[in-house]
Copies of this chain bind each other. A is one copy, B any other.
């Protein structure tokens, strides 16, 4: 089985020296990849520069990306040639459009015009006391996966912060439908420590629970890969 795993977090450039980064160490994707390799599976790992990585392995290929646009062009051909996508990467949901002084925004008649501007300077000046950054939504990468390959098995990830179990499961169920995912791994940032990682693996009909990254990786192997 050809398995595609994504890990780490994307970064969207503001200018040549600054960017907005989604925090993600890539640890969960690393643990999942190692579990799959240990079971004899082949893995293509799409990850980011700063994320942690598994040791090199004859059944492992690694592809590096940086931002959402780069992720989309990299992922499309890979999704079409793999059987499973385990999409644990934290993907930026907004990307910078234009950054300017607060005074200019305050004095503008039509704020919409800023949404069509671009910074031409390579390093935005830092003289004014306040600045304003306009951002636009990025394409939802996970929602493109089944358009690219309707028969791929898709495992999405949903990270919330400090919510109830019900809200976590409900959000996962919605994501299953919206993104035509087969499973959603739903977790809460407040329940992740260096030693533990509480999560639910949610499908349309089932809910499994795990308490560590190792358990999550075993659950994914048992439920999604082995019985596929």
Contacts and interface: CB of A to CB of B under 8 A. Distances in A.
Interface of A: 11, 14, 16-23, 50, 90, 92-94, 97, 102, 105-106, 111-112, 115, 122-123, 126, 128-137, 159-162, 189
Contacts of A19: 20-21, 23
Copies in the complex: 2
Contact of A130 (B20, B122, B135): B135
A49 B79 CA distance: 33
A17 B90 contact: yes
10 contacts: A16-B23, A17-B161, A18-B21, A18-B92, A21-B21, A50-B50, A102-B111, A123-B160, A130-B137, A132-B134
Contacts of A106: 111-112
A130 B117 CA distance: 14
A136 B129 contact: yes
Contact of A20 (B18, B126, B132, B162): B18
Contact of A137 (B18, B20, B126): B126
A196 to B, nearest CB: 18
